[in-house]
Structure 1
Amino acid sequence: MNVIAFILVFIIVIGGQFIGCWFLFQKAGKPGWMALIPIVNVYVMIELSGKPKWWMLMFFIPGVNILFAIGLYIDFFKSYGKFKLSDWMKGILLGFYFMPKWGLDPKVKYLGVVDAEFKEKHKAHLKKSSGQEWTEAIIFAVVAATLIRTFFIEAYTIPTPSMERSLLVGDFLFVSKVNYGPRTPMTPVAFPFAHHTMPLLNTKAYWDGWELPYYRLPGLSEVKKGDVVVFNYPMDADSPLYRPVDKRENYIKRCQGAPGDTLSVVDAQVFVNGKAAPNPPGEQIDYSVTNNSTEQINSKVNEDLNITFYEGNPSPTMTKESATTLKGYSYIKSVIPLIHPKGESMTGQIFPTKYPKLYSFNNKTPEYKWNMDNYGPIIIPKKGWTVKLDSLTLPLYGRAIEVYEGNKLEIKGTDIFINGKKTDTYTFKMNYYWMMGDNRHDSEDSRFWGFVPEDHIVGKALFIWMSWDDNGSFLSKIRWSRLFRGIH
C-alpha cells in the first residue's frame, strides 16, 4: 500500500507540473503536448523565458542543474506576470497545484521573454535593480534547492562497479528522501551543494562544532529487503576522517537483511531466516573460463554477454545467465564459478575482524572461519533487541554499541563495562541493516564492514535519468536504453 501511495503522490506532483506547463505553453502559442516530453519541455521554457540556449547544457550537470532549473522557473513565472517571491515559492514548491491553476486562469497572460525591454515595461511590479533581483533569485534558489535535496529528492551518480550489472558506472539516479522519511539536518552549518569536501579547495565543507540529534520525518515505508538504498558509509566515523553521520561518504547497495533477520551466505547465495533470498536481476560473480587453445573469446562475445574484466582481477565477471550462454559456445570447455569454500577463513579481511579496534577478550582474534562467499549466520540488530555479550558476540556488536550508539565500552580481561557499569547484555537503541552489492566479488559491503545503522540511511534509489559511458565512442557516450529506467 505504501508503494501505491508513493506512486500516486509521484504522479500527482510530476503530472500536475506537466499539466500546468501544457496550459501555460498554450497561452504563449506553443503546442501543449510539448510539455509532456522531457528535455523538449525545458527547451520551450528556456525559449519562452528568454534564457540563452546554452542553459540546456547545464541541465545535464548534477547539482548545477537544480540551481539552473530554479532560475529558469523563476523567469518562466515572471513571463506570466508572477513577480512576487511568494509566487515563485508557490510555483516551485507546490507547482503541481499552482501551475495548472495559473494555466486555467484567464487573467494570467503570457507577457513575453524576460529581457531589458520586459523589465522596463514591468518595472512598477519588479521595483528592483538587476543586482537585487539576481541576489534575491540566487538566495531563493539556494534555499529552495537545499530544501528539495534535503527533504524530497536528490541526484546521485554511480561511481564504482559494485552494483553491476544492475547499475553501471556513469548512471545518474534520482534518490527519494520521501520513501523512508527525510532526515532533519544533523550538521546544519555546511556549504550548499557540497557534501563533505569543498571542490578544488579539498577542505571540509561543513562545521562540526554544532551537531543536532538524529531525527527522521515520517516516510512512506520502511527499508525493505531488495531495495536499492543510498546510505552514509559507516566507516567514515573512524580516523582520519571522523566525519559526522550525514557528512559520511554516500554509498549505494542493495538491502539484503532487515532488523532482526538472521542472515548467512552459502556458496554466494544469501539466506535470510533460513530461506534463500531472491537474487537481484543483475547479480554477478567471478568465473574461471577454460577455452579451446585454438580459439579465443573475442571482444564481441564479451560485449554481447556483458562480461567484464576489472583492473587487478584476471577472472571474468558475469551474471549466471551470461555464464550459461557462454557454456554453449563450442570452443568453451568450462565455465566454473569461483566460490571461496566453506571453512576457508578470511580473518583480518572481513567483518568483524577487519576493524582497527578489535572488540574481543584479551585482544584475541576470534576465529569465525567466514569468507565473502560463505558467511555467517549473523543476527542483524533490531531496536529493543537485547543481545547476550560473550567472546563470540562482542566482536560482532561492539562497534555498534560504542561507535554508532555512542556508549563508552571497556573490556577488562573478560569483564565488559558499558558507560562504567559492568554488564553482559546490551539492548539496542536503533535498527540496523545489511547491505550488499550486486557485483558480489567486486563490492566492499556489509560482509567487510558490518551493519548500517538506521540514522545512516539517506534514501531509496528510484530511477536512472541519465547514463554516461566514459569508455564509449563519441556517438555512443549516452546509454539511451537506460534513460528513465526504474531501479529494481
Structure 2
Amino acid sequence: MNFALILFYLVLATGGIWLIDHLFLKKRRAADAKDPWWVEYGASFFPVILFVFILRSFLVEPFQIPSPSMVPTLQIGDFILVNKFAYGIRLPIINKKIVDIGQPKRGDVMVFRYPVDPSKDYIKRVIGLPGDTVAYQNKRLTINGRPVETRQIGDYLHAERRYYSHQFIEQQGEAQYHTLNDPDAPAAIPGAANFPYRENCSYNNAGVMCTVPPGHYFMMGDNRDNSEDSRYWGFVPDENIVGKAFFIWWHFGDWGRIGSFQ
C-alpha cells in the first residue's frame, strides 16, 4: 500500500468523523459538553491531512534518492521535490490525466512508476520521446540519426569507492547535464528483459537501438554504466508518469547540494 493511498484513507476517515459529528452527534450533546476524544482528534487532523493530500497529489511531492544511477546530477541521500502538474493534472491513486498542461522534453529528469512493478517509483532522465529512434552504441548517444552534442571534461571521482569515471557534458535543447561512463565496462547491454514493444529494439555488442512507441518514453540514468533503465526493462508509458524533478531541498551533511538542478 503506497503513501498516497494511506493519506486518502485517512482523509476519508477523519473527514467522515467530522461530517457525522457536525451533522448528527453534535446536536445531541449538551451545549457545554466536551467533544469525545475521537471527534476532537478527527476534526483536528482532517484539514491538515487534507492539505497534505492535495499538496502531494497535485502540486509537489518529496522523494529521496536511493541509488547512484543519476550520479553526478543526483546523489544517494538527496531529498528532492517533484512538480506534479508539469506534465498535466492527474487524479491521485489511479494516476489518470484529466488536464493536459505539458509534455516531457528530452533532458528532463522525471519520476515515474517502474513499468515492471508500478508500486515502485523510479527516477531517470528523458532521452527519447514517442517516435524517436534512440541509439546508444559504443557509449555514445544518437537520436534520430543525429549524435547528441557531447563534450568530455575532467574525470569524476566517486569518493566513497575511490575510483574515477569518465565525465561528459551532454546538451539536448536547453537541457545541459553531466553524464558518466566507465571505460572498463562493456558497451553491450547484458540481461535485457522481455518487455512490451521489445521488438522495437535491437541489441548488439556495441549497445542498443530502439524506436520509441507512441505514448511512451525512453529513459536513462546519468551514471550510464551503473543504471538499469530503458535499455534493460523497456519503455515508460505516459500513464506511469509521476512528475518532473526540479529541486534538491535537503541532503544530510552537505547543505551545498540544496537548490535546483538539471
SS of residue matched to 1:235: coil
TM-score (norm 2): 0.72
Residue in structure 2 matching 1:480, options 247, 255, 258: 255
Contact 1:177 1:458 in 2 (8 A): yes
The structure with the greater share of residues assigned to strand is 2
1:181 aligns with 2:88: yes
CA distance in 2 between counterparts of 1:487 and 1:340 reads: 29
SS of residue matched to 1:156: strand
The structure with the greater share of residues assigned to helix is 1
SS of residue matched to 1:162: coil
Rg: which structure is higher?
A: 1
Assess, with a 3 A threshold, how the Cα gap between structure 1 residues 368 and 165 changes in structure 2: closer, same or farther: same
1:163 aligns with 2:38: no
Residue 151 of structure 1 deviates from its aligned partner by 1.2
Contact 1:234 1:452 in 2 (8 A): yes
SS of residue matched to 1:337: coil
**Deviations, residues 137-177 of structure 1 (Å, cap 9, x unaligned):** 21222222112111111001000000000000010011011
Contact 2:189 2:208 in 1 (8 A): no
1:272 aligns with 2:104: no
Assess, with a 3 A threshold, how the Cα gap between structure 1 residues 186 and 134 changes in structure 2: closer, same or farther: closer
Q: How does 1:234-245 map to 2 (within 5 A)?
A: 234-236=115-117, 245=118
Assess, with a 3 A threshold, how the Cα gap between structure 1 residues 227 and 480 changes in structure 2: closer, same or farther: same
CA distance in 2 between counterparts of 1:279 and 1:139 reads: 51
Residue in structure 2 matching 1:375, options 188, 208, 215: 208
Q: How many residues align?
A: 221
1:340 aligns with 2:186: yes
Aligned AA (2:260): G
Contact 1:182 1:458 in 2 (8 A): no
TM-score (norm 1): 0.40
Q: How does 1:244-323 map to 2 (within 5 A)?
A: 245=118, 248-278=119-149, 305-308=156-159, 316-320=164-168
**Corresponding residue of 2:228:** 444
Residue 450 of structure 1 deviates from its aligned partner by 0.6
Assess, with a 3 A threshold, how the Cα gap between structure 1 residues 346 and 151 changes in structure 2: closer, same or farther: closer
- Segments of 5+ residues of structure 2 without an aligned counterpart are 8-17, 19-30, 170-181
**Corresponding residue of 2:21:** none
The share of aligned pairs that are identical, in percent, is: 33
Contact 1:228 1:461 in 2 (8 A): yes
CA distance in 1 between counterparts of 2:231 and 2:52 reads: 36
CA distance in 2 between counterparts of 1:150 and 1:337 reads: 42
- Kindly report the root-mean-square deviation, in angstroms, between the aligned alpha carbons of the 2 structures: 3.6
SS of residue matched to 1:143: helix
CA distance in 2 between counterparts of 1:356 and 1:231 reads: 17
**Deviations, residues 255-287 of structure 1 (Å, cap 9, x unaligned):** 000011111012212111111224599x99xx9
**Deviations, residues 65-92 of structure 1 (Å, cap 9, x unaligned):** xx9xxxxxxxxxxxxxxxxx9xxxxxxx
Higher relative contact order (CA 8 A, sep 6+): 2
1:355 aligns with 2:194: yes
Contact 1:308 1:317 in 2 (8 A): no
Contact 1:228 1:487 in 2 (8 A): no
